[in-house]
Amino acid sequence: MATTTSSARTIPRTTGTRARRVNEAELRATLSTFRELSDEDWRRPTVCDGWTVRDMLAHTVGQFEELPRPWVAVRRVRQAARTHPGLGPLDGHNEVQIEDRKAVPGPELIGALAHFAPQGLIALRRMPAPARRKVRLSLLYPEARALPDDSMDYLGNVLLVRDTWMHRVDLGDATGAEPVLDGHDREIVSQVVLDLALSWTGPSAELDLRGPAGGHYLLGIAAPAATLRADAVDFARHLSGRPTRGRLELEGDPEAGAALLAARVVF
């Protein structure tokens, strides 16, 4: 059966009701995955430098906790400036998220996520749309200026669920489990591809992404000079700067291939 290759720049941005459903689906998947962990799994190292599986969940809890309580995020950024002066505001803040719950066992963190995540999603929905579009993330995190859209709207529709999703992938990598994928995973990966397309300056290239989260996309507007074939989740790992579990297969123009290997997207 012939496959259809779509221009990646025409991928619709996830917004509104669709964004809410994707966030809720990922929250269910994340909670389900963490609930399957053994006592030993919580101590396993992850691809995130210095973080165990338990630490990673503490970070995720902190992300959702701060949405209805923005003053907590402000406090953590200020504390990080004192306690982690060698890190940027965002990375330092993430470390404080973990330190705030350093004594909380993993199973209790699952309960904390189940408590705070729905509150966080409700807080995002209750914020008036003009305010979501106007409020700049870079007021707290200068790193946000590198985003395609430095706004609370982008955080709620795209970035929050992307971060949660990638840490679920990290969890599978740490424990050896394969992530369970469905339609919402495809939506998340498509937004990663859209962000790649919006910043793409290399020769036109085709992406043949396999698996339930995959699809066929064109970067650029001309006929593709190269084709990359990979598992969709593996390509997301690559774009985030993480090690891949499988091969990225490249054919065609070396310049386009090099651009694909150098490409990164913010997670």
Q: pLDDT (tens digit, 9 = 90+) per residue, 53-63?
A: 999 999 999 99
Q: For all residues of the chain together, what is the average pLDDT?
A: 97
pLDDT for position 5 = 83
Residue 2 reports pLDDT greater than 60: no
Largest CA distance in the chain: 59
Residue 153 reports pLDDT greater than 50: yes
pLDDT for position 6 = 83
Q: Is 83 left (phi over 0), alpha (psi -120 to 50) or beta?
A: alpha
In terms of Cα–Cα distance, which of 212, 154, 184 is closest to 24?
A: 184
- pLDDT confidence tier of residue 3, bands split at 50, 70 and 90: low
Domains of the chain (ranges; CATH) run 6-10+183-262 (3.30.1050.10), 16-175 (1.20.120.450)
pLDDT for position 4 = 75
Distance separating alpha carbons of residues 101 and 182, to the nearest angstrom: 31
Work out the average pLDDT over 160-171. 99
Work out the average pLDDT over 217-234. 98
Work out the average pLDDT over 230-235. 98
Distance separating alpha carbons of residues 33 and 172, to the nearest angstrom: 9
Report CA 170 to chain centroid distance, whole Å: 11
Give the strands of the sheet with 6-7, arranged side by side: 6-7, 215-219, 205-210, 226-231, 249-252
Distance separating alpha carbons of residues 215 and 150, to the nearest angstrom: 27
Tens digit of pLDDT for each residue in 71-120? 999 999 999 999 999 999 999 999 999 999 999 999 999 999 999 999 99
Q: How far is CA 66 from CA 71, 109, 116, 160, in A?
A: 7, 15, 9, 12
Residue 253 reports pLDDT greater than 50: yes
pLDDT for position 1 = 47
The string of DSSP letters for 223-253 reads S-SEEEEEEHHHHHHHHHTPPPSS--EEEE-
> Tokens representing 76?
């953590």
* Residues contacting residue 60 through CB under 8 Å, at least 6 positions apart: 30, 113, 163, 164, 167
